Amino acid sequence: MSYTAPVKDMLFNMQHLAALDDIAKIPGFEDAGMPTAQAVLEECARFTQDVLAPLNWEGDKNPSSWKNGVVTTTPGFKQAYKQYADGGWQGLQHPSQFGGQGLPKIIGAACIEMLNAANMSFSLCPLLTDGAIEALLTAGSDELKATYLDKLVSGEWTGTMNLTEPQAGSDLSLVRSRAEPQADGTYKVFGTKIYITYGEHDMAENIIHLVLARVQGAPEGVKGISLFVVPKVLVNKDGSLGARNDVHCVSIEHKLGIKASPTAVLQYGDHGGAVGYLVGQENRGLEYMFIMMNAARYSVGVQGISVADRAYQKAVQYARDRVQSRPVDGSIKAAAPIIHHPDVRRMLMTMRAYTEGCRALACVAAAAYDASHHHPDADTRRHSLLMYEFMVPLVKGFSTEMSLEVTSLGVQVHGGMGFIEETGAAQYYRDAKILTIYEGTTAIQANDLVGRKTSRDGGQTAHSIAAQVQETVVALQDQGSAGALAIAHRLEAARQALDDVIDFIVQAAANHPNAAYAGSVPYLMLAGNVLAGWQLAKSFLIAQEALSLGAQDSEFMQAKMTTARFYADHILSKAPGMRDSIVQGADSVTDMALEAF
């Protein structure tokens, strides 16, 4: 059940694909170059490998439990969380003004991957706290920031976001929790919230809930939703903890996966009303909550990469150890480890290529985020923001969908032993399923990609990214080696398929919306496939040049080239067929009479 953090691959992406040295030239990030990145990642690797990874399987066998309103986490989680907070990991990306380290997202995202690969159930708690911090930084008053941010950034307190209600899942216009204004400027909050990750636990002395609710008299629909801070324990003016607030956990869910993460049903206001504090302005709550959701969506995509990598590592180790049948080429005359069998190697290469491609994509997206928020040049900020916003649904949607395929392949490599819980392979498969659902399903990410990210600007941003892919095609052709030309052929066909689909989506969204949205998820998967393949194609060129210059780590560079070639041949090659299904297959999605289902 051991885990080895892929620090070398992460640093390769940072240096060569995401240009961390350029990020380190941005004011405020001067100390965040490659030496800092390597030091932080190596320390994070030690913590995740030694402290969190050994608790992962334990959390699956002995999940969090609820009794009389109290949630007890898996044995060892509370102690591990104290080490996490004491190590300053919660504040890695957050401003030094509130006790954080102020490092760029590109470094923080790599640490998030390690945390989740080591123990996804544990890491959901810090993930939600990150979102609460972002929302308060953006929309919180000076008083709210002063009261809560230092404690959240330090990890002393944790955060949640409370959107969903029994009748309001993805459609937040149906939110019915209510908030009544009080004479002292506070609000009394009433309602039931479900699916609240770490809504109750024993790892921190306070939990800061960010809650969507309607103020009395607010407009119907999403325009009438406000956002409130509702602490589990009220905070006195001197910062000390006071009385318990009127918010209680009435149960936790029994789930397919991430079993150690308590998913709470929270009841607000059963004893006179929970004290809440308005964030920003009334009726702008959904706008503020989207800040949390966008931060969380990127992180969930990274979770997909994390669990895929953990499943890959587990499968490789099993394939090296499991002896079964003679190799078909006769290279060994007796039964041999199954890693010698071509189809096992095909499965392992598929797992590796998907994982490395999505890791590279997420790293480049993180660099775009850093430039969009901090670069001194306004045009650079604007172009970087367009790039980042286009890539978020891909990182979230494509990376999580691929994690299902990769973790399923992990079970398959194990054969019958993968179907047995004791090997641990099934846990990754079960844990991965939630990633395509929470923080917006794959279809919601795809709707965002079609509506806000593609059709709204007439496909301008999407086509500009495709043009950058074409530049890499030309570079591969100019390089001229057999491997480079083979990848160029696949990447050019994939780029053309993407451009064709962008044009189709823009036209159909305006005139035949059912046709556009019938192909929305395939479009997301196509775009994710092409952009991940693009990054691996760039990796191929970098690795080939490094080898020609006598790179010391020739084994790593050769493996990078082999992985990129495999991705092009076996994954990127699917792009033209995906285009055909989107452009020519819309009618067959919607033609069936509803009563015929």
pLDDT at 572 over 80: yes
Residues tagged active-site: 439
Which positions ≥6 away from 368 have C-beta within 8 Å? 384, 385, 387, 388, 391
Mean pLDDT of 458-471: 98
pLDDT in tens, 262-287: 999 999 999 999 999 999 999 999 99
Tokens representing 204?
A: 């921190």
Task: Return all residues near 103 (Cβ < 8 A) that are at least 6 apart.
Answer: 29, 32, 36, 40, 92, 93
Model confidence pLDDT, tens digit, residues 30-55: 999 999 999 999 999 999 999 999 99
Q: State whether 149 and 166 are in the same domain.
A: no
Backbone angles phi, psi at 165, to 5 degrees: -130, 165
Among the candidates 246, 262, 283, a domain finishes at 283
- Is there a single domain that holds both residue 265 and residue 142? no
106 and 166 share one domain? no
Looking at every residue in the chain, the average pLDDT score rounds to 97
Please state the rounded mean pLDDT for residues 130-151.
96
CATH for 36:
1.10.540.10
**Last residue in a domain, options 283, 316, 339:** 283
pLDDT value for 291: 81
Same domain? For 115 and 212 the reply is no
Domain identity same for 97 and 229: no
Q: Is residue 398 part of a domain?
A: no
Same domain, 197 and 88: no
Identify whether residues 176 and 277 lie together within a single domain: yes
> What amino acid is encoded at 140 in this protein?
G
Residue 515, domain member (yes or no): yes
229 and 102 part of one domain: no
**CATH number, domain with residue 199:** 2.40.110.20
Q: What percent of the chain has pLDDT over 70?
A: 100
Domain end: 137, 154, 171, which one? 154
| Res. 289: pLDDT tops 90 | no
Cα–Cα distance between 26 and 242 in angstroms, integer?
Answer: 42
| Residue range 237-263, pLDDT digits in tens | 999 999 999 999 999 999 999 999 999
Closest CA to 187 of 97, 110, 275, 126: 275
Same domain, 573 and 464: yes
Instruction: Mark whether 109 and 168 lie in a shared domain.
Output: no
Question: Is the residue at 319 inside a domain?
Answer: no
Instruction: With respect to residue 390, please indicate whether it lies within any of the assigned structural domains.
Output: no
pLDDT band at 1 (very low <50, low <70, confident <90, very high): low
Q: Hey, what are 155's tokens?
A: 């990890």
* Same domain? 169 vs 268: yes
Residues 135 and 219 in one domain: no
Domain with 106, as residue range(s), is 7-154
Strand 178-181 versus strand 158-162 pairing type? unpaired
CB 269 within 8 A of CB 206: no
Q: Where are the alpha helices (DSSP H) in 179-284?
A: none
What's the structural domain count of the chain? 3
DSSP string, 155-169: TSSEEEEE--BTTBS
Listed residue (381, 192, 196) closest to 292, CA to CA: 196
**Statement: residue 295 has pLDDT above 90:** no
